[in-house]
Structure 1
Amino acid sequence: MGECIYVYCVTQEPCHLIEQCKLNVDLYSLEHHGLRAVARTVSTDDFAETKFQENVKNTVWLKTWALEHHEVLASFVGVVTFLPFKFATVFHSEKNVLAMLDKHEMAMKGRLRKLTGMLEYGVKARVDDDAVKGHVATISPEVRAFDQELAESSPGKAFFLKKKKEIILEHEVQSFFERHMRESMLYLASHAQENTLPACEMADSDGNNGLKAEFLVKQAEKEVFLHEFEARKRVLGVCGIHLECTGPWPPYNFADFSVQ
């Protein structure tokens, strides 16, 4: 059994700040030109390339290591500025880690400057379809016009009008959701330094209506961001659109860096 070096992140913070963030993990740092790679030694039985490909198929193994990776990084949030590395970033030796720091020194230092004093928050939205349909049906002139025509129609004509109304209502609901969510997300973005809105999703993994985006917020302005989020949450909740804010997280979506 051999050993390799697992790197969690890179920072420029003093060692004593890194020390106070330790969990039950034997971390240490490797320093080069003011950059510190926060690392630990791990077994090649776990992370050598061929072994790793087998191990990730083991859900217990994967969950254990992925959770540790996240918990180590989460312990740094709000304490130190750092560039989070992807899960299972390993090097054959400390020499290779130092070579990586040397190669990417300027890029890392530049990104660390941009992340100083920042926090990442995630915002998700989901739709209560029935609630939104009910709300849209009361405010849409086109839908209300159909309701009036239905009330005055014969049974045969009413059948076809109902089908047409359902199609129009579905379109109106989607349009309502997209319009109000885009407006809300853009408003929240005005209280953040960066965001992932260009790539935000309009549906969740199950195909349901939804949207998610991440925001990089100044630590000194987080209360303002969260206050504005709560205001939007209350307004949209009445319409059947439910918002959830999570974080602060390690800046996974704003590191803009890869050792590959």
Structure 2
Amino acid sequence: MTGPHLAYTYAIARYTDGLAQVVAALTGVAASRVHLVQPTRGRDPVAAVSPVPAEDFDETALRRHLEELAWLEEVARSHHGVIEAIAAHTTVLPLRLATVHLDDGRVRAVLDARQETFLDRLTQLADRLEWGVKLYLDAPATPPPPPPADLGPGRAYLHHRRAEQDLRQDSHDAARTAAERIDAAARLHAVDRVRHRVQQGELAPGPGTNVTNDAYLVPVERAEAFRADVMRSTDGLPGIRVDVTGPWAPYSFAAPHEEEDTAP
């Protein structure tokens, strides 16, 4: 790579003897080869890094690129591809998209300064992966019944409004019940949860309204039971759809978190 470049950092990982070979085969952001940076003392933890052109990733350029959806999608695809490949081999702490440092020396300085913190978190995440659980509420299948024919216009309007409110309340109650059932089922297996903001607009593809958007940290050996119990948890509740995705590297659990109260 010609010209000034920066060190794009994908993740912090637990070192293994075969990790360097795995990483050496990876192509990351800006079609650059990925390599490992180790701390000054010891081999653990390591950072997965690749050089990227400063003209695209310095502070000024990033502000401009963050408005370019196609550019962001390409970077995100490469970023997550590197992380998932490493996560298939060892425990990983994913970093935020477009985490850049001046050079490998600065990356090493971060590893040195936070070595024990990184190692503690990696120990907590060992043999655990992230699963996403989204709850959707479908629109009522039928409109409220028409008002009785003997009502005048004013009373008929009020009757219709009350019927609409009853439908909305029924939907709200169903969503709350579903959310409680899902979380109870998930917590039989998960060791942690992060509650994200619900998705709206283009971020919420498919039918229905997204009412919860949670991430659960689940031990690898409990994955199948987790998925099965969550999917069964809303049986018998009409108008409810549950979307379970994963497993993923523990993106939502790489750092301590504070949950946002977004329950329905």
TM-score bin (small chain): 0.7 to 0.9
Match for residue 224 of structure 2?
A: 223
Deviation of residue 226 (structure 1)? 1.4
Structure 1 residues 115 and 128, CA, compared in 2 at 3 Å: closer, same or farther?
Answer: same
Instruction: Map residues 1-260 of structure 1 onto 2, 5 A cutoff.
Output: 1-20=3-22, 22-25=25-28, 26-32=33-39, 33=42, 34-131=44-141, 154-156=150-152, 160-196=158-194, 199-201=195-197, 203-206=198-201, 208-232=209-233, 235=235, 239-256=238-255
Q: Structure 2: 5+ residue runs without aligned partners? A: 258-264
Deviation of residue 97 (structure 1)? 1.1
**Farther off after superposition, 158-167 or 103-112:** 158-167
Letter in 2 for 1:239: P
Identical counterparts, % of pairs: 24
TM-score, normalised to structure 1's length?
Answer: 0.81
Deviation of residue 209 (structure 1)? 4.8
Deviation of residue 102 (structure 1)? 0.8
Deviation of residue 101 (structure 1)? 0.4
* RMSD (Å), alpha carbons: 2.6
Deviation of residue 159 (structure 1)? 5.6
2:185–2:230 CA contact under 8 A, matched in 1: no
Q: Please give the alpha-carbon distance, in whole angstroms, between the structure 2 residues aligned to 1:42 and 1:84.
A: 18
Q: Structure 1: 5+ residue runs without aligned partners? A: 138-146
Deviation of residue 257 (structure 1)? 6.1
| 1:30-87 C-alpha deviation (Å, 9 max, x unpaired) | 1123211111111111212222223333333322222100111122234210111111
Give the 3-state SS of the residue equivalent to 1:29 in structure 2.
strand
Deviation of residue 93 (structure 1)? 1.9
Give the 3-state SS of the residue equivalent to 1:130 in structure 2.
coil
Match for residue 143 of structure 1?
A: none
- Normalized per residue, which structure has more helix? 1
Match for residue 142 of structure 1?
A: none
| 1:15-42 C-alpha deviation (Å, 9 max, x unpaired) | 4135336433411111123211111111
Structure 1 residues 168 and 184, CA, compared in 2 at 3 Å: closer, same or farther?
Answer: same
